[in-house]
Amino acid sequence: MTEILAAACIAILVVMAIALARAFKAPTVYDRILGVNMFGTKTVLFIAASGYLMGRPDFLDIAIVYALINFIGMVAVLRFFEYTSPIE
Amino acid sequence: MLEQHLAALPIILPLIAAPIALILGRTVLSWGFATLVSGLAFILSWQLLSAALSEGVISYAVGGWAPPWGIELRVDAANAFVLLAVTAISTLVLVYSKESIEKEVKVANHALFYTAHLLCLAGLSGILITGDAFNLFVFLEISSLATYTLVSLASDRRCLTAAFRYLVMGTIGATFILIGVGLLYMKTGTLNMMDLAVRIDAYDSSRTINTGLAFIMVGVSIKLALFPLHMWLPPAYTHAPSAVTAFLASTATKVAVYVMIRFIFTVFGIDHVFVDMGMGLILMVLAVVAIFKCSYMATVQSNVKTILAYSSVAQIGYMILGLSLVSVAGLMASMIHIFNHALMKGALFMAVGAVFYRVGSVDIKAFAGLGRKMPLTMAAFTIAGLSIIGVPLTAGFVSKWYLVTAALEQGNWIVAALVLIGSLFAIIYIGRVLEAAYFQKLPESRKSENIKEVSWLMLVPMWVIVIANIYFGIDTSLTTEAASSASEWLFQTNNMLENSALENNVSEANVQEVSS
Amino acid sequence: MAEFIDLVLLAMLALTALRIIFLKDLFAVVMLFGIYSFLSALIFVNLDAVDVAFTEASVGAGISTVLMLVTLAMTGRKEKQSTHSTLLPLFVVLVTGAALIYGTLDMPPFGHPDNPVHQHVAPRYIEESPKEVGLPNMVTSVLASYRGFDTLGETVVVFSALIGVLSLLGVRRKKKKDLESGLETHSVLHVVSKIIIPLVILFALYVQFHGDFGPGGGFQAGVIAAAAFILYALVLGLPKAFAVVGPKFLQWMASFGVLLYASVGLYSMYKGGHFLDYNKLAADPIAGQHYGIIIIELGVGITVFAVMLNIFYAFGSQAERSNVQ
Amino acid sequence: MDFLDIVSSMLLLAGVFFGFSGAVGLFRFPDFFTRVHAASVTDSIAAILIIGGLLLQTSFDLNTAKLVFILLFLLVTSPTASHALAKSARHGGLLTLAESSSQDKQESAK
Amino acid sequence: MSFIFDYYNYWIVVFLMMAGFYIVISANNLVKKIVGLNIFQTSVFMLYISMGKVTGGTAPIVVEGVTQYSNPLPHVLILTAIVVGVATTAVGLSLIVRIKQAYGTVEENEFENKDDAI
């Protein structure tokens, strides 16, 4: 069972790397926000999976904080960059 | 009940008073409360100095846990002596600032000004008294954050860029100290300074510890504005409110000089710092360059506060020069100069603040003809200026005298000559201001604004410091006795570390058990 | 397996830092800084530093990124080309880097159990703290009891940050005329925010009182509670948020938190112990430790909540003014 | 590997597959709005499957409650975030691929 | 091969320190200086935490049947340092907002012509 969990963790890492690449290369502002948002949700899943892999599943509080801060960061970006030009 | 907690009270008192000063809100209330608290802290530090002189070291384990595990406060003759200067200047500046900030700080920010002042006082006394390396970093951050706030309170917009530059360089300095403490912790496993000293001597010379030492030294020299890293000081002291400059110039950099002395003597040991790492030469060269470059810069400035700011950097050069002589006399000269310089600069900046209060500008032209219009302020400025130059019967002369004798004692007459030449520059830049004040007439434009003397609330603290300047110039018993016992004690702890390290090397195994 | 994850995450972190150096669009810099904080919090989880990951994620990634975004909204997004050459900074950086590399040459290797760090002070914390202080979470017991003075100093640092921001930006009551409301066109956000804000506050209280048994504590709880109110202010606009929790009340709360912390120390002095000695708080030392730690964590939580929210109010009222101009 | 382990590993692998497809979609799709669609859809399904797979690992205790709370939180917030992002992109004047290509044609026609 | 694993963490930490330090010194925009300052401080936190890690040890929260724990002391120090870092960032950013209102710009090379010597 731990091999499956390890494989899942590595796969999520790869997905995070791709989301990071999107955040690096993004042409428009909104692509960058999208990359950050996907990166955030994937880290939540990564923490849950690696918690079980390492046998210490009681660190899920951090996953909750991650999801929360990711959402608030997203709302803050939208609130303060509502009227700016999308193409930098 | 009080004596038992004497070591902790000078920190706790201002720490608790700050939130209360914010709650009080109205200017007069928070001013009165802040001055009362600062006065209490001064009395406590007086008792602390006498206790330290009589009993030697006072150790106070916060939280009841024994030192290497809990945090320990260590008070000895050296830091009690500096603490006395800090609390004295803080009380006098608070009395002075009641009227001085009315012209410079928005009324809405007055309560915040007093809260930030109390926080800065708590931070500085925390840095002096704590015996734990990481706790020193925390109190350093408290005093730095309070200082950035105080500098940015002025009405002139240039204080904002000066405060920002000070924040960036101050944070880099604090982070360097954090890296240094981290490297030391990595090799020794402890944070208590005395414990650190014992365990560092167990390693004869490890690269990580030397790097840690180098980072701490660079971080602290940013904080005390040693020559190449002093760029933040002149704009910060020039554009800050006068009451803030008077407080910072007399205390902030001196506390950083004490931190350097403490790390060199009680944590690393003289031979490790000066012999293995050759820091003595580096410090001496930097000090001499600081004295000459900054004294020269002072002579070409047009703003009097910038003149005095560059003069402060030069005076810090004198302290580091005394330190780099690596002798009991040299260290004593530095300790005395820490105390005397606080007096000199406090009086000078208060006088300039009074001129700003009346005339509204601190340019050298603003001083024209003030000799007659503001006699008491300019008399205070003159006496403090003479003290900077080092004229006999003033505190400046005493510290220069001990510095020169310390240099000559080592046969190092080049350094002695450089010290004397340095004070020539002082004559030039102080002379320019006095010449403007006494020998130039009041320009017509200002005749109408009937400039008269400042109120007694600003004059009394100014003259208390000037009289102290003269008193400690004549009767040098208190300062020399405290400074000499401080430097003896510092050298004695250093030798104690040497021989305790010797028997340690014999049995490497028992290093762990030495303190657990 | 853990080393491999550590390897990959650190590589990602280095790439993000490199990318930030060469970016000119400041908005992208702040977004990548958000990712940088998240990644470093993830690395802390992987290095068994759970409380630190909690704090870094909520304080480092949450508050810093939001404040930077607000500042950017006022100062513009484009960084202009700097005139002076990059040779001097490169030289200074290389010299410091060389000194650091020189320092790492005889560092104790990463992760070995017999490093000096684990030999001297730490063993007592690991063995005796569950018995002496009685908390499963050793980090909270060391943070609050053994090194409680550090944490008091830190609460005062947060308090002095509030003083700094208030003296610079000063929170002013909103006048009715420039009533700048939040994202009022996003009705979906309104509904969702109204649903999750109570949940977030509940979670913050759980973190506050769960700090003794699992990851959590005063700082994290204060920031999460402040994050909930910041979300409310973002979505529904500052005037409504001022109505719920006013800036004046927050200043009183911040002072009250610091005084609560310090009064625990004074009380233990009054009862004959040293400053912040919790054993004297109650008849049985362990119970005294529990009371002491719960009260000071509460003091820390209140101070951090009040300071973070008040700082956001100060920044938000500045941003609202500039958007309106 | 008893029955529960097989099911949970299947769920995990399916979740990872969907996450991976979302990432590829995010990287290769031509314009912003298709990328938002790819990212947000797979986010939700990947979250459900992976957390579902993990749920089968735990006996019924506090961790289960935390996992369910995370799942609910993700299911509520991530679609909202994507919606708000797309809506503000639309407000910000970002054109979809079809609109921008038709706009290029009009300019070239002029 | 194991030599790499022994010091990999520390080398990356040194690289990050230098990246952050370079950004602080060379950045022309003040907000980017604050970002560089944060990167510099976060890398110092990583130095402390990777000191405390024991391979095979779990997080310092007592659980039955586990004896090998990572060192809790660096975690306590870094909890304090993170909050200190955020406090400095908040004061720095509020200074930037005031500088923007007073000078109209936050680019370092544009200050000189606005005033005499900075």
The DSSP line for B477-503 is: HHHHHHHHHHHHHHHHHHHHHHHHHHH
Distance to chain D for C186, nearest Cα, Å? 7
What is the rounded distance in angstroms from the CA atom of residue B445 to the CA atom of residue C82?
43
**pLDDT for the residue numbered E113:** 61
Alpha carbon of E115: minimum distance to chain A alpha carbons (Å): 31
CA distance B136 to chain C (A): 9
Q: In angstroms, what separates the C-alpha of A15 from chain C's closest C-alpha? A: 12
User: Measuring CA to CA, which residue among B65, B73, B78, B86 is closest to residue B135?
Assistant: B73
How many CB atoms are located within 10 Å of the residue B454 CB? Answer: 22
Short-list B440, E42, B511, CA closest to C38: E42
Q: How far is CA D33 from CA A26, A87, C189, in A?
A: 13, 14, 19
Q: What is the mean pLDDT of residues B454-475?
A: 88
Chain E residues 47-86 with a CB less than 8 Å from chain B:
47-48, 51, 73-74, 77, 80-81, 84
Asked if pLDDT for residue B516 goes beyond 50, the answer is no
Q: How far is CA C294 from the centre of its chain?
A: 19
Task: Flag whether pLDDT at B461 surpasses 80.
Answer: yes
Predicted local confidence at residue B221, as pLDDT: 92
In this structure, which amino acid lies at residue D12? L
Per-residue pLDDT tens over the stretch B177-235: 999 999 999 888 888 888 888 888 777 778 888 899 999 999 999 999 888 888 899 99
Give the residue, B508 or B296, on which the prediction is more confident: B296
Q: How far is CA C226 from CA B216, B425, C246, in A?
A: 36, 55, 13
The answer to whether C185 and D91 have CB atoms below 8 angstroms apart is yes
Look at residues D85, D73, D75, D96 and name the one whose alpha carbon lies nearest to residue C183.
D85
List of chains touching D (3+ CB pairs within 8 A): A, C
Interface size between B and C, measured as CB pairs under 8 A: 171
Give the B window 393-452 contacts with C, CB below 8 Å: none
For residue B422, what is the enclosing H or E element? helix B413-439
The confidence score (pLDDT) of residue B129 equals 92
Q: What is the pLDDT of residue E63?
A: 81
Nearest to E30 by CA among B238, C93, C80: C80
Q: Which two tokens stand for residue D93?
A: 């004047």
Total structural domains in chain E? Answer: 1
Check if B149 contacts E (Cβ < 8 Å): yes
Residues in chain D with CB shorter than 8 Å from the CB of C185 are 87, 91
Q: Do the domain assignments include residue E60?
A: no
Residue pair C80/E29 in contact by the 8 Å Cβ criterion:
yes
Burial class of residue B488 in the structure, from the number of CB atoms within 10 Å of its CB (0-12 exposed, 13-18 middle, 19+ buried): middle
Query: Are the beta carbons of B504 and B195 closer than 8 angstroms?
Result: no
DSSP state of C172: -
For range E5-20, the mean pLDDT:
87
Measure the CA–CA gap between D108 and C192, rounded to whole angstroms. Answer: 44
Candidates C188, C195, C199; nearest CB to D84: C188
Element at A79 (helix H, strand E): helix A60-80
Residues 48-67 of E with CB under 8 A from A: 58-59, 61, 63
pLDDT of residue C152: 93
CA C79 to chain centre: 28
pLDDT in tens, E53-100: 888 878 778 888 777 888 889 999 999 999 999 999 999 999 999 999
Asked if residue A87 has pLDDT above 70, the reply is: no
ipTM: 0.93
Residue E59 counted as domain residue: no
Interface test with B, best of C121, C158, C311 (most B CBs within 10 A): C121
pLDDT of residue B501: 52
Residue E78 and residue E49 in contact, taking contact as beta carbons nearer than 8 Å? yes
Residue A83 has pLDDT above 90, yes or no: no
Q: H or E segment at E65?
A: none
Question: Does residue B503 carry a pLDDT above 90?
Answer: no
- Reduced to 3 states (helix: H, G, I; strand: E, B; else coil), residue A84 is coil
Average confidence (pLDDT) over B34-43: 93
For chains C and D, CB pairs below 8 A equal 20
- Domain span at residue D45 reads 3-109
Q: C189 and D88: CB-CB below 8 Å?
A: no
Distance between CA atoms of residues B342 and B312, nearest Å: 10
Q: What is the DSSP string of D12-74?
A: HHHHHHHHHHHHHHHHH-SSHHHHHHHHHHHHHHHHHHHHHHHHHHS-SSHHHHHHHHHHHHH
If one counts every other C-beta atom within 10 angstroms of the C-beta of residue B460, the result is 12
Q: How would you write the pLDDT of chain C (325 residues) with one tens digit per residue?
A: 778 888 899 999 999 999 999 888 888 899 999 999 999 999 999 888 888 999 999 888 889 999 999 998 888 777 777 777 778 888 989 999 998 888 888 888 887 888 888 888 888 888 888 888 888 888 898 888 888 899 999 999 999 999 999 999 877 655 544 445 667 777 888 898 889 999 999 999 999 988 888 888 889 999 999 999 999 988 888 888 888 888 889 999 999 999 999 999 899 888 888 888 888 888 888 888 888 899 999 999 999 999 999 999 999 888 766 554 3
Q: Residues B16, C262: contact at Cβ < 8 Å?
A: yes
Q: Do chains A and D touch (3 or more CB pairs under 8 A)?
A: yes
Residue E43 lies in domain: 2-54+65-114
Residues of C in contact with A66 (CB under 8 A): 38, 41, 57
The ranges assigned to domains in chain B are: 3-503
Q: What is the pLDDT of residue C1?
A: 76
* Domain containing residue E21: CATH number: 1.10.287.3510
Q: Which of A9-23, B66-80, D83-97 has the lowest mean pLDDT?
A: D83-97
3-state secondary structure of C137: strand
Q: Give C 238-297 residues with CB within 8 A of chain E.
A: none
Listed in sequence order, the residues at least 6 apart from A81 whose beta carbon sits closer than 8 Å to its beta carbon are A29, C27, C69, C73, D88
Tell me, what's the pLDDT at E111? 73
Q: Are strands B71-75 and B58-62 parallel, antiparallel or unpaired?
A: antiparallel
- Structural domains of chain D, count: 1
- Identify whether A86 is part of a domain: no
Question: Would you place residue B506 in the very low, low, confident or very high pLDDT band (cuts 50, 70, 90)?
Answer: very low
Give the Cα separation of C49 and C57 in Å (integer): 12
**B436-445, C18-27, C227-236, E106-115: range with lowest mean pLDDT:** E106-115
Predicted confidence band of residue E117 (pLDDT cuts 50, 70, 90): very low
**Looking at the predicted structure, is the pLDDT value of residue B515 above 70?**
no
Q: Which residues neighbour B318 within 8 Å (Cβ) at sequence distance 6 or greater? A: B287, B291, B337, B399, B400, B403, B419, B422
Q: Please, which chains are in contact with B (at least 3 CB pairs closer than 8 A)? A: C, E
CA B49 from chain center: how many Å?
17
Count of CB pairs separated by less than 8 Å, A with D: 144
Between positions 76 and 95 of D, the ones with CB within 8 A of A are 77-78, 80-82, 84-85, 88-89, 91-94
CA–CA distance, B374 with B381 (Å, rounded to integer): 11
Q: What percent of chain B has pLDDT over 90?
A: 36
Nearest to E23 by CA among C32, C313, D51: C32
Contact (CB<8Å) B64/C273: yes
Per the CB < 8 A criterion, the answer to whether A49 and A13 are in contact is no
Beta-carbon separation of C120 and B138 below 8 A: no
The answer to whether the CB atoms of B138 and C150 lie below 8 A apart is yes
Which residues does chain C have within 8 Å of residue D87's beta carbon, measured at their own beta carbons? 185-186, 188
Tell me the percentage of chain A whose pLDDT exceeds 70: 92
Tens of pLDDT, residues D33-51: 888 888 888 889 999 999 9
pLDDT at position A11 over 90: yes
Put simply, whether C186 touches D (Cβ < 8 Å) is yes
Q: To 10 degrees, the CA torsion angle through B465, B390, B293, B259?
A: -50
HSE-up of residue A53 (Cα within 13 Å, Cβ side): 21
B128-149 residue pLDDT tens: 999 999 999 999 999 999 999 9
Chain E environment of A55 (Cβ under 8 Å) = 58
Smallest Cα–Cα separation from B75: which of B54, B47, B42, B49?
B49
Which two tokens mark C41? 């919090």
Q: What is the largest CA-CA distance in chain A?
A: 50
Structure tokens, C2: 């853990």
Query: E67: which residues sit within 8 A by CB, 6+ positions away?
Result: none
Matching residue, tokens 């914390």: C125
Nearest CA in chain A to C217: A61
pLDDT of residue D105: 78
Phi, psi for residue B132 in degrees, rounded to 5: -120, 130
For residue B231, what are the contacts with CB-CB under 8 A and spacing of at least 6? B165, B169
Which residue's entry shows tokens 């700090």? C211
Task: Note the pLDDT tens digit of each residue in B88-129.
Answer: 999 999 999 988 888 888 888 899 999 999 999 999 999 999
Backbone angles phi, psi at C72, to 5 degrees: -65, -35
Structural domain total, chain A: 1
Q: Which domains does chain C have, with CATH numbers?
A: 1-88 (1.20.120.1200), 139-325 (no CATH)
Provide the pLDDT for residue C322. 58
- Asked if E44 and B178 come within 8 Å (Cβ–Cβ), the reply is yes
Is E32 within the bounds of a domain?
yes
Q: Look up residue B145 and give its two tokens.
A: 């954050």
In C, minimum Cα distance to D66 occurs at C203
CB-based contact B108:B24 (threshold 8 Å): no
Q: What is the value of pTM for the model shown?
A: 0.93
pLDDT at E116: 46
Q: What is the mean pLDDT of residues D63-91?
A: 88
**What is the C-alpha separation between B159 and B445, in angstroms, rounded?**
28
Residue E28's SS3 state is coil
pLDDT band at residue B448 under the 50/70/90 scheme: low
Give B204's DSSP letter.
Answer: S
- The beta strands (E) that lie in A4-59 are given as none
Question: Mind telling me how many Å the CA of E91 is from chain A's nearest CA?
Answer: 20
Look up the domain containing A40 and give its range.
Answer: 2-80
- And the tokens for C113? 């159990």
Contact check, Cβ <8 Å, C124/B16: no
**Average pLDDT of E22-35?**
91
Residue B1 has pLDDT above 60, yes or no: no
Whole-number pLDDT of residue B507: 40
- Give the pair of three-digit tokens for residue B439: 């020998």
Structural tokens at position B54: 């009589």
Distances (CA, A) of C245 to A73, B197, C227, C236, C250: 21, 50, 13, 13, 7
CA distance D15 to A42: 11
Q: Which of residues 22-81 of D touch A (CB under 8 A)?
A: 22-24, 26-27, 32, 35-36, 39, 43, 46-47, 50-51, 53-54, 57-58, 62-63, 66-67, 69-70, 73-74, 77-78, 80-81
Neighbours of chain C (3+ CB pairs under 8 A): A, B, D, E
What is the sign of the dihedral through the CA atoms of C199, C201, C203 and C209? negative
- Judging contact as 3 or more Cβ pairs under 8 Å, the answer for C and D is yes
Distance from CA of A69 to the nearest CA of E (A): 16
The whole-angstrom separation of Cα C224 and Cα C205 is 9
Helix, strand, or coil here: B59? strand
Looking at residue C17, its amino acid is A
Mark yes or no for CB contact D88/A82 under 8 Å.
Answer: yes
